[in-house]
Amino acid sequence: MAGFINYIKESFNELKTNVTWPTWAEAQSLTVLVAVFSIIFSLAIWGVDTVFTKVISLYFELIS
């Protein structure tokens, strides 16, 4: 158990001293950027899925 507690203490120390954290403004702008690209990517996947659904439906209508 002492090893686990030591690991947690060292982890927090590492996060305090060695990690470079972004500023609040950078974090906000990067969050917006990720949200926008996530929406664009999800719309692209939805579009491809819709096209494939229509193509497969048409294919099965033609062969039946």
The whole-model pTM stands at 0.66
Side-chain-side CA neighbours of residue 15 (13 Å): 6
Question: pLDDT tens digits, the chain, 64 residues: what are they?
Answer: 788 999 999 999 999 999 999 999 999 999 999 999 999 999 999 999 999 999 999 999 999 8
pLDDT of the residue at 59: 96
pLDDT of the residue at 61: 94
pLDDT of the residue at 31: 98
pLDDT of the residue at 1: 79
What gap in Å lies between CA 50 and CA 24, rounded to an integer? 39
- Are 22 and 30 within 8 A, CB to CB? yes
